[in-house]
């Protein structure tokens, strides 16, 4: 469970960075802080867009290929499934799988 979660965090960050660098977004970012902020914002929009597509496709029983493509663009074809529990041992065991 941990690996898909990490992928689905890292891939949008990398995509945000790549989109920012490749497009320039018409910004003159002289500061690394500004460039970093723009990258994080682009990554957040990227993640949100594909996560919304994924959720809507699931809820509206849309085509499975669309869910898969949205998931792949987030780094892992399926969203991680988390069990609701307060038991720390169970959570640790699940994260090692």
pLDDT tens string 30-49:
677 677 777 788 888 888 88
Q: How far apart are the first and last CA of the chain?
A: 6
CA torsion through residues 70, 73, 77, 82, sign: negative
User: Model's pTM, two decimal places?
Assistant: 0.59
Q: How far is CA 63 from the centre of its chain?
A: 20
Count helices and strands in the chain by DSSP H and E runs:
4, 0
Mean pLDDT of all residues in the chain?
78
More confident residue, 32 or 69: 69
**What does the pLDDT read at residue 65?**
92
Q: What is the 3-state secondary structure (H, E, C) of 78-91?
A: CCCCCCCCCCHHHH
Decide: residue 39, CB within 10 A, 0-12 exposed, 13-18 middle, 19+ buried.
Answer: buried
């Amino acid at each position: 469970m941990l690996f898909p979660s990490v992928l689905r965090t890292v891939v949008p960050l990398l995509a945000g960075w790549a989109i920012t660098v490749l497009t320039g977004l018409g910004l003159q970012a002289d500061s690394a802080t500004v460039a970093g902020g723009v990258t994080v914002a682009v990554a957040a929009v990227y993640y949100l867009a594909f996560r919304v597509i994924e959720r809507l496709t699931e809820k509206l029983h849309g085509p499975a290929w669309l869910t898969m493509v949205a998931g792949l663009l987030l780094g892992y074809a399926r969203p991680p499934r988390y069990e609701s529990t307060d038991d720390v041992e169970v959570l640790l065991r699940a994260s090692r799988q």
